[in-house]
Amino acid sequence: MVFQVSKKETVPIEGQKPGTSGLRKKVVVFKEPNYLHNFVQSTFDALPADQVKGATIVVSGDGRYFSEDAIQIIVKMAAANGVRSIWIGENGLLSTPAVSAIIRERIAADGSKASGAFILTASHNPGGPLEDFGIKYNMGNGGPAPESITDKIYANTKTITEYLIAEDLPDVNISVSGVTSFDGPDGKFDIDVFDSADEYVKLMKKIFDFASIRNLLSSPKFTFCYDSLHGVAGAYASRIFVEELGAKESSLINCIPKEDFGGGHPDPNLTYAKELVARMGLGKSPSQDEPPEFGAAADGDADRNMILGKRFFVTPSDSVAIIAANAVQAIPYFSSGLKGVARSMPTSAALDVVAKNLNLKFFEVPTGWKFFGNLMDAGMCSVCGEESFGTGSDHIREKDGIWAVLAWLSIIAYKNKDNDGGKLVTVEDIVLQHWATYGRHYYTRYDYENVDSDAAKNLMAHLVKLQSSLPEVNKMIKETRPEVADVVEADEFEYKDPVDGSISKHQGIRFLFEDGSRLVLRLSGTGSQGATIRVYIEQYENDPLKTGRDSQEALAPLVEVALKLSNMQGFTGRSEPTVIT
């Protein structure tokens, strides 16, 4: 049978602008007639023709509710748009980093590679019939589509009149590996379903010294716990940590991927990763047992990571700095040196200090992983990170949750390599040692979720206006907390990409203080309703006697100043943030 291509009439649907990482909306919105179809056709139409016609495209995601329906629709639309092959992870499961790895590494029997991918995820947002779904497109380098493409997609969604679909193509069985071929008007169309983990595991084994990590995990002094929060990381955790590295099965919690993430919020932070946080001896009602030495968690699509020691939290900003400082010694992939390091603007300057000390190229980019890709493609950056629990390297073009855990395990193994009889060098020891060498960046983030959109916009506009008068800013600061230093510079962050010269404006409001402290405010681009205001607060301390304070206590004066300058309560009516990290 030869499948037929139908042209279906449609009309533009409002609000299909991709945010920080794709289009994220409630499932009920995605289920509205033509909602997904319009976005997918707009994406095909935004891509260069040779990346659609005759091309190979990956479609998979974190397995959240509505994924399978979406895959069947995208397959039929891809066939109708002249795509040659569709690659799907078994059960539609591929983590975001695994998709990136597949685009870069997987070679089909006929020698062809994928030119891009639809990734079906709303990442750390909850899933289920009443929760969120998401879709984004990654390009041939394995990284998120750049703004030039996402702008085009959005423009197309505003003018779309028809889409193409092969309605008579049967649904694919995505639960069994294998290739199924169909004949279409333009020739063959293949659907290739394959193991979700193989390619990714292979890549990890090229990067890390698995033998040394296995050795660490087998030591009675070392105990380990990994929490997938029922996200797609579960499809990799057992393969990597148990089968390859010899961890006990009981060290994995919530590692069965579920379409509603077990009703939880798959966001690896101190608020939402409750079970792990309690097990690690942190949180309000810590477990009675002796906590493990090392704990980690992932988000829904497994690109984020949270790193914990026994009763100890590692801030993501410190994590990337510590990985950068130890990468060359501890991780074989980096043994010939780092090409450079990069962080997103709101991420603390801990990485800057490492870069300066080790004489590494350093870049500060806007929030969102797409900005790191250009630097990596140009060979300018090896390790990068974001304060939002994202860490990664140029092995792929996405942040990588399991990679970060393996990086930490490698560092712990390295620090303990000559330590036969002695006490374990712990996560906490490694962080304290880092602060002693480089100083400490006290850091916290306040999130105000689901705030009225207009209130959020007004708050930001108020801050921009305030920035034009530093004397007024400093007067307000002195009236609030006299001990806080003066603001010496205030602006909206703007980024000029050093590789392609493209400019991104309005990337967050910054207040830079005389003593190196920073306040940053920006609106989230990943929410699905209302607005989320993020307030990032940072203070540097390099007096070794003062690096051991409680961070909320150390930052209290700056927090007060942030809330005062922004008039948070006045604009939003909120006296407390939703999440404090």
Least Cβ distance, residue 236 to Co ion (angstroms): 14
Place of tokens 């990956």: 58
Reduce the DSSP state of residue 506 to 3 states and report it. coil
- Complex with ligand VG1: residue 124 or 441, whichever CB lies closer: 124
Report how far residue 367's alpha carbon sits from residue 221's, in angstroms, rounded to the nearest whole number.
38
507 binds ligand VG1 (CB under 6 A): no
- DSSP E strands in 124-241: the ranges are 132-138, 162-165, 178-184, 187-194, 224-227
392 binds ligand VG1 (CB under 6 A): no
% helix, strand, coil for the chain, step of 5: 35, 25, 40
Q: x-or-dash pattern for Co ion, window 123-152, by CB under 5 A?
A: x-----------------------------
- Complex with Co ion: residue 352 or 447, whichever CB lies closer: 447
Work out which of 132, 299, 352, 538 binds ligand VG1, going by CB under 6 A.
299
Least Cβ distance, residue 389 to Co ion (angstroms): 9
95 binds ligand VG1 (CB under 6 A): no
Q: Encoding tokens for residue 414?
A: 């390295």
Least Cβ distance, residue 315 to ligand VG1 (angstroms): 14
Work out which of 318, 386, 394, 538 binds ligand VG1, going by CB under 6 A.
386
Least Cβ distance, residue 332 to ligand VG1 (angstroms): 27
Report how far residue 437's alpha carbon sits from residue 285's, in angstroms, rounded to the nearest whole number.
33
| 212 interacts with, out of ligand VG1, Co ion, none, CB within 5 to 8 A per kind | none
- The burial class, CB within 10 Å (0-12 / 13-18 / 19+), for 367 is buried
Work out which of 131, 293, 301, 352 binds Co ion, going by CB under 5 A.
301
Helices (H) and strands (E) in the chain, counts: 18, 26
- Complex with ligand VG1: residue 230 or 304, whichever CB lies closer: 304
Report how far residue 70's alpha carbon sits from residue 465's, in angstroms, rounded to the nearest whole number.
44
303 binds Co ion (CB under 5 A): yes
- Complex with ligand VG1: residue 115 or 391, whichever CB lies closer: 391
| 106 interacts with, out of Co ion, ligand VG1, none, CB within 5 to 8 A per kind | none
444 binds ligand VG1 (CB under 6 A): no
| 526 interacts with, out of Co ion, ligand VG1, none, CB within 5 to 8 A per kind | ligand VG1
Backbone angles phi, psi at 315, to 5 degrees: -70, 145
367 binds ligand VG1 (CB under 6 A): yes
- Complex with ligand VG1: residue 216 or 456, whichever CB lies closer: 456
146 binds ligand VG1 (CB under 6 A): no
Report how far residue 423's alpha carbon sits from residue 420's, in angstroms, rounded to the nearest whole number.
9
Contacts of 572 by beta carbon, 8 Å cutoff, 6+ apart? 448, 451, 452, 455, 456, 459, 533
Q: Encoding tokens for residue 219?
A: 């030591």
Report how far residue 100's alpha carbon sits from residue 114's, in angstroms, rounded to the nearest whole number.
10
Question: Residues binding ligand VG1: what is the number (CB under 6 A)?
Answer: 18
Q: Are 391 and 320 in contact (CB under 8 A)?
A: yes
Q: Encoding tokens for residue 290?
A: 């002796």
Q: What is the 3-state secondary structure (H, E, C) of 270-329?
A: CCCCHHHHHHCCCCCCCCCCCCCCEEEEECCCCCEEEEEECCEEECHHHHHHHHHHHHHH
Catalytic residue among 123, 238, 251, 524: 123
Q: Encoding tokens for residue 506?
A: 């309005």
Q: Are 5 and 185 in contact (CB under 8 A)?
A: yes
388 binds ligand VG1 (CB under 6 A): yes
Least Cβ distance, residue 390 to ligand VG1 (angstroms): 5
Stretch touching ligand VG1 by CB under 6 A, among 211-219, 284-292, 334-342, 363-371:
363-371
Report how far residue 549's alpha carbon sits from residue 328's, in angstroms, rounded to the nearest whole number.
30
Q: x-or-dash pattern for ligand VG1, window 516-535, by CB under 6 A?
A: --------xxx-------x-
Least Cβ distance, residue 443 to ligand VG1 (angstroms): 14
Reduce the DSSP state of residue 47 to 3 states and report it. coil
299 binds Co ion (CB under 5 A): yes
| 21 interacts with, out of Co ion, ligand VG1, none, CB within 5 to 8 A per kind | ligand VG1
Does the annotation mark 317 as catalytic? no
Site residues (vs ligand VG1, CB under 6 A): 20-21, 123-124, 299, 303-304, 344, 367-369, 386, 388, 390, 524-526, 534
Instruction: Name the residues annotated as catalytic.
Output: 123
